[in-house]
Amino acid sequence: MDAQPTTPSDAPDASPTTPSPPPDAPSRDDELGPPLVELHGVNKHFGDLHVLRDIDLTVRRGEVLVVIGPSGSGKSTLCRAINRLETIDTGTIAIDGQPLPEEGKELARLRADVGMVFQSFNLFAHKTILDNVTLGPVKVRRTRSAEAKKEALALLDRVGIGNQADKMPAQLSGGQQQRVAIARALAMHPKVMLFDEPTSALDPEMINEVLDVMVALAKEGMTMIVVTHEMGFARKAAHRVVFMADGQIVEEAPPEEFFTNPKSHRAQDFLSKILTH
Ligand SMILES: Nc1ncnc2c1ncn2[C@@H]1O[C@H](COP(=O)(O)OP(=O)(O)OP(=O)(O)O)[C@@H](O)[C@H]1O
Ligand SMILES: [Mg+2]
């Protein structure tokens, strides 16, 4: 970064909201694109349980949004609703201006635009790593096999496991399997990637290898919604943190602001618990 003899607030890369962003902080909000994922008035019940309450949320192209909150607050349900793995009762969800269709081919196409990485890697156990990555493009995107293979190998390289392509999932570590899951999602050329606690099932020494891949993706401008309690990731890569409790968005702020100065009691209480872990 160039040090300029002008006053810091006049410097071209000074952020108007955060006085001292970390050196590798993502681009400022005004560099983000138009709305890509839009939720308006979304409600969802499981029986008597009101799990999503009047959720309004807009994620812009290139934005990295971290969703954080206590267990049972509705984070996974929110992700699943965005991918239409879960229906909603009222409200609207649109991806790139297209409302989520109910079912059928349109839904399949739209779902292919949303990459999803879960806590459990969900790889096909009886297929090789390479086949796990090529299956979606070949079956859903109708990519030719040779082309899908070439791209899969490039993606596996990109997530650091290019030399594991012929192995079976069980022969890989958890961190490696999760990176395959990321490569598999990327192979579909999604417009947005959803991550639901992608590192919480991993041994500590494998967490960073997965987070590093995610940080790199974020830097490349991928639109990401990430449910995680990894504050290091949020600080490094997120534009915004959304805090959920009891099915509601209680608070949202840039990561530094949220972690250093949470406004709601719920967030203060939650952070004090995860910080003292
Ligand atoms: N299929 C389901 N049927 C009934 N209740 C459900 C179902 N899925 C989730 N719930 C309930 O909905 C609430 C929200 O669950 P959700 O999994 O979205 O929370 P979460 O914030 O992801 O929690 P965690 O941090 O534990 O993953 C919880 O009370 C959960 O028990
Ligand atoms: Mg969850």
Q: What is the pLDDT of residue 17?
A: 45
What pLDDT digit, counting tens, does each position of 198-239 carry?
Answer: 999 999 889 999 999 999 999 999 999 999 999 999 999 999
d(CA 277, CA 275): 5
Identify the band that residue 156 occupies on the pLDDT scale cut at 50, 70 and 90: very high
The two three-digit tokens of residue 77, written as one number: 């349900």
Q: Which atom of ligand 1 is nearest to the CA of 69?
A: 21
CB of 51 shorter than 6 A to ligand 1: yes
Distance 74 CA to ligand 1 centre (A): 6
Q: What is the pLDDT of residue 10?
A: 40
Q: What percent of the chain has pLDDT over 90?
A: 77
Identify the band that residue 276 occupies on the pLDDT scale cut at 50, 70 and 90: low
What pLDDT digit, counting tens, does each position of 9-57 carry?
Answer: 444 444 444 444 455 555 556 679 999 999 999 999 999 999 999 999 9
Select, from the ranges 118-127, 135-144, 242-251, the one with the highest average predicted confidence (pLDDT). 242-251
Distance 53 CA to ligand 1 centre (A): 13
The two three-digit tokens of residue 82, written as one number: 């965005």
Q: What is the pLDDT of residue 277?
A: 56
Write the single-letter amino acid at 256: E
CB of 247 shorter than 6 A to ligand 1: no
Question: What residues contact residue 64 under an 8 Å CB cut-off, 6+ apart?
Answer: 26, 218, 222, 223, 224, 226, 237, 238, 239, 240
From 42, 55, 68, 73, the mutation candidate for ligand 1 (largest count of ligand atoms within 8 A of CB) is 73
CB of 174 shorter than 6 A to ligand 1: no
Question: What residues contact residue 196 under an 8 Å CB cut-off, 6+ apart?
Answer: 75, 76, 79, 116, 117, 118, 119, 227
**Residue 6: pLDDT above 60?**
no
Distance 183 CA to ligand 2 centre (A): 22
